[in-house]
Amino acid sequence: VSHTERTPADLRDGRSLVAHGYQIWVALPKELEDIAPQFYHFGPDELPQWHNGSTTFKLIAGNGYGKTSPVPVHSPLFMVEIKTVEDYVLDTSNELYGEIGICVVEGTIVACDNEINKGNILVSKVSDVCNIKVKANSHILLFGGEPFSEERHIYWNFVSHDKNKIDEAKQAWKNKTFPMMQTDRTYVPLPR
C-alpha cells in the first residue's frame, strides 16, 4: 500500500495548525498479506459507543465488550478508546482477548503498582492483565488481539512474515518501481 499525507494548500498560509491523531497499522494474516489495498471511512457516530458511569468507551475496530465495530478486520483484534472524567478501575477480563497494548494519550494510568503517564505505551503478552486504574481526565487507547502463530518482521513501513518480501519491497522502493500515489510525485528515500 502507498499513501500520502499532505496539508492542503489553503491551510499552508503560515498559521500554526495542530493535528493530533494516531495512525495504526495492523499486520495481516500471512495468507492475506498480498490482498489489494482497500480504504474505508467511518464517521465517529457509526462506531459503537457507551458509558460506564462517567467513563466513555468507543470501539474503533474489532470486537470487545460484547460489541462489534463496522470497521473491516482480517483477524481477531480490538481497538477501544476510553476517556475518563473521574478515576476509573478498568478490568478487561472477559471483555477483550489476546495481547493488549495501552497507549496513554492524555493523563495517567496505574498498572501493577506502576504509574504510566501521557506519551507511553504499556504492553501485556497475556490477556489477563492486572486491573488498571485510569486516573481522572485521562484518554487511553486499548489495542491488541490474538497473536499470529508466525513472527512478523518490520523495516520502516514494510511488514511481513517473510523477510524476503521485505527485501523485495525495499529494492522496489529504491528503484522507484513500488506502486505509488498517482497524484503525488514526491519521493522519500529509504532509511538506512
Dihedral sign (CA 130, 131, 136, 138): positive
Position 101 in a domain: yes
189 and 108: one domain?
no
CA distance linking residue 106 with residue 139, whole number of Å: 5
* 189 plus 125 within the same structural domain: no
How many domains, the chain? 2
Closest C-alpha to 50, from 40, 64, 62 = 64
**pLDDT at position 22:** 80
Kindly give the confidence (pLDDT) of every residue in the chain, 192 residues in length, as a single tens digit, with 9 standing for 90 and above: 667 777 777 777 777 777 777 878 788 999 999 998 888 999 989 999 999 999 999 999 999 999 999 999 999 999 999 999 999 999 888 899 899 999 999 999 998 888 999 999 998 876 556 679 999 999 999 999 999 999 999 999 888 999 999 999 999 999 999 888 788 888 889 998
What Rg, from alpha-carbon coordinates, does the chain have? 19
- In a shared domain, residues 133 and 65: yes
Q: Is residue 21 part of a domain?
A: no
- For 164, phi then psi, to 5°, come to -65, -35
Q: What residues contact 20, with CB distance under 8 A and at least 6 apart?
A: none
Q: What is the pLDDT of residue 127?
A: 58
In a domain, 24, yes or no: no
8 A C-beta contact, residue 141 and residue 103: yes
CB 70 within 8 A of CB 90: no
Residue 112 within any structural domain of the chain = yes
**Is the residue at 15 inside a domain?**
no
Angle ∠(28,30,35) on CA atoms, nearest 5: 65
Residues 44 and 126 in one domain: yes
User: Is 2 within the bounds of a domain?
Assistant: no
Co-location of 71 and 134 in the same domain: yes
Instruction: Give residue 166's domain range.
Output: 152-192
